[in-house]
Amino acid sequence: MKAWKPALAAIVAAMIVFFVPLPYFISYPGDATSTEQIIDVSGAEKEPGDLMMLTVAQRRATPYFLVESLFLPFSETSDVSDYLYDGESDAQYENRQQLYMEEAQHNAMIEGYELADKEVEVDFEGVYVSGIISGGPADGKLRAGDQIVAVDGASLKSMSSFMQTISSKKAGTDVKVKFERDKKTKTTTIKVGKLAKNSEQVGLGIYEPLPMSDVQTDPKVEFNLENVGGPSAGMMFTLEIYDQLTDGDLAKGHTIAGTGTIEEGGKVGPIGGAWQKVVAADEAEAEIMFVPAGSNYEEAKPSIKKLGTKMKLVPIKTVEDALDYLEELPEK
């Protein structure tokens, strides 16, 4: 009669070891993916050279995966608070990562088409609320997932105009915020507050507001990418779009990997996991890897030495830096 108890105990133990989430995330080197497999500009011809985006893989830790990570080179365990905002669920975090990816694609389209002197139109749709700072001005007024569309009766025209409107207010000033939630339009009044006790900078108390836009191009461009989030592929997306819009092979027959966000004006912004992305690039036999200059470049250099790879690490500050480098690159 009691013979089933050890088996049941073993099943329960296995479920705990493999499935019970712990308050940690584990990250490790991801993949290098050809951007020409992801991006299709209408009427463009694909070239022999290869541009590749890089990823870092991550998963929520369980007892099994936490122990396993101790034996995996280039893995890192981080507290869940390093990833999730206060009160943010895993599902909301994943949604935020997808919005980062959409923003990266939009920014890449804008910069790539402008560099190639092609037509691009941007319709700004509002500001996505990633999260609310506990005890801040917007606490109890807004929540993660809301989309702000107007402030003080004026529709938002851009992310910068939204930031300027709020930052120009004095602490204690009431602002009327119009937003969308669950496909319904709502309005609330929020008292602008100081972001820190010893600072004059003011805000609504929103974690990392994200721009939401509709971008139309001529010729059309499509992205074919699933289950990948974050903004760090933006720079490589820009290079691929520019490559497809212009004559010749931008990579000149070489295999080139890279990482970095793309920001207004072509600036390349910092990313996470640069030291782990070196591994992904090396495993894909990349000859060159672009990386944001500064801390990301310094972070990535030890991985180059540890791997003993001949891959060249190239720091860049703007997408134009990458284009200048490729222009001087000899044909393979």
Catalytic residues, by residue number, are 232, 277
Pairing, β 261-262 against β 312-316? unpaired
Long-range pairs for 68-77: beta carbons < 8 A, 24 or more residues apart: 69/26, 69/28, 72/28, 74/28, 74/29, 74/275, 74/276, 74/279, 74/303, 75/26, 75/27, 75/28, 76/26, 76/27, 76/28, 76/276, 77/24, 77/25, 77/26
CA distance 219 to 239: 16
Contact of 258 with 326, CB cutoff 8 Å: no
Query: Which stretch of DSSP H or E encloses residue 27?
Result: strand 24-34
> Does the N-terminal peptide bond of residue 219 adopt cis geometry, omega within 30 degrees of 0?
yes
Residue 38 has what DSSP assignment?
Answer: T
**Angle of CA points 268, 271, 274, to nearest 5°:** 115
**Could you count the other beta carbons within 10 Å of the beta carbon of residue 57?**
14
The whole-angstrom distance between residue 208's C-alpha and the CA centroid of its chain comes to 12
Pairing, β 255-258 against β 288-292? parallel
First-to-last alpha carbon distance for the chain, in angstroms, is 74
Contact of 230 with 221, CB cutoff 8 Å: no
Query: Which stretch of DSSP H or E encloses residue 54?
Result: strand 50-60
